[in-house]
Amino acid sequence: MPSPTAAPGPVLDPPAFPGTPDIRLIASDMDGSLLDERGRVPETLWPVLDELDRRGIAFCPASGRQYANLREQFGDRGRDLVYIAENGAYVVQGDRALSADPLPRAEVPVVVQRVRDLAAAGRDVGMVLCGQRAGYIERGDGPFAEHARRHYAWLEQVDDLAAVEDVVLKIAVFDFGPVEEVTAPAFADLAERLRVVVSGQHWLDVMHPAADKGHALRGVQERLGVTPEQTMAFGDYLNDAGMLDAAHFSCAMDNAHPEVRARARFVVPANGRDGVVRTIAAALGMTLPG
């Protein structure tokens, strides 16, 4: 993979693209990429979505968030979109599941106990068991529940996560400190049989070994008859790396993790500078309102 196009210092403008690329599919991460610094969909996206629809270009939100949360973010405008939810473990269009890679049931109590052990040792952690019907939490205090609700529109508090009867798509672990310091190493041995990925500064996801945004995006490409050379993707964190690998026009946000920047062909303005929308407009020759 080529090195990033960015020089040292912040990226001020979208990169230049040769001609008008033949892009048929655009996939974008949400937190740290499409969403602004307050976690909102930028208003500039809506006219761009209209133009993409007019040109027959598919737009695919790709996130660690719950599908219900993503649908809530896009409202009626997102009725026909294909969503890559739960970091690739669940792909949905119009409330119809296109694919699912559940966490093996026997691994659920193992992961749950690992988080409980961290908490018992004094680490300030919590977890969301991400089911197909809802998200579930044991820890219900205000600060943790607030973080969980940002990503899960359907959320239930239960006494025992290991006893939940639902298809478990993943277990998302939240650490109030940097997750890469203590929590991620505590799960390193599970990476021999499961997918363990740092998905944010405070989040770690434990999933089926095949669950990945890149694997999910390749499935969407196959379904739509789109090639990697016709695909643009945006991401900022380690859980986005596989998705960037699946797209020729791989774009790391200026605020991205260093490893993600090194993996992408292009580095684009940060999410706080509307980098996703501005880059799409620049690549496709669109004029943004205002």
- The CATH number, out of the four listed (1.20.1290.10, 3.30.530.20, 3.40.47.10, 3.30.1240.10), of the domain defined by the range 105-207: 3.30.1240.10
Q: Helix 275-284 to helix 45-55 angle, to the nearest 10 degrees?
A: 30
What are 94-143's pLDDT values in tens digits? 879 999 999 999 999 999 999 999 999 999 999 999 999 999 999 999 89
What is residue 290's predicted lDDT score, i.e. its pLDDT?
A: 61
Closest to 26 (Cα-Cα) out of 51, 74, 61: 61
CATH class of the region 25-100+212-284: alpha beta
What is residue 18's predicted lDDT score, i.e. its pLDDT?
A: 78
Question: How far is Cα 218 from Cα 241, in angstroms, rounded to an integer?
Answer: 13
233 touches 244 (CB < 8 A): yes
What is residue 26's predicted lDDT score, i.e. its pLDDT?
A: 98
Question: How far is Cα 73 from Cα 35, in angstroms, rounded to an integer?
Answer: 10
What is residue 175's predicted lDDT score, i.e. its pLDDT?
A: 97
What is residue 4's predicted lDDT score, i.e. its pLDDT?
A: 36
The answer to whether the 25-100+212-284 and 105-207 domains have the same CATH topology is no
**What is this structure's pTM?**
0.89
Question: How far is Cα 111 from Cα 278, in angstroms, rounded to an integer?
Answer: 40
Q: Spell out the domain ranges in the chain.
A: 25-100+212-284, 105-207
What is residue 11's predicted lDDT score, i.e. its pLDDT?
A: 75
What is residue 6's predicted lDDT score, i.e. its pLDDT?
A: 40
Question: How far is Cα 50 from Cα 265, in angstroms, rounded to an integer?
Answer: 27
Collect the ranges in the chain with pLDDT lower than 70.
1-10, 289-290
What are 63-78's pLDDT values in tens digits? 999 999 999 999 999 9
27 touches 231 (CB < 8 A): yes
End-to-end CA distance of the chain: 36
Residue 44's Cβ-side half-sphere holds a number of Cα atoms within 13 Å equal to 19
59's tokens: 């737009």
What is residue 7's predicted lDDT score, i.e. its pLDDT?
A: 37
| Backbone torsions φ then ψ of 54, nearest 5 degrees | -65, -35
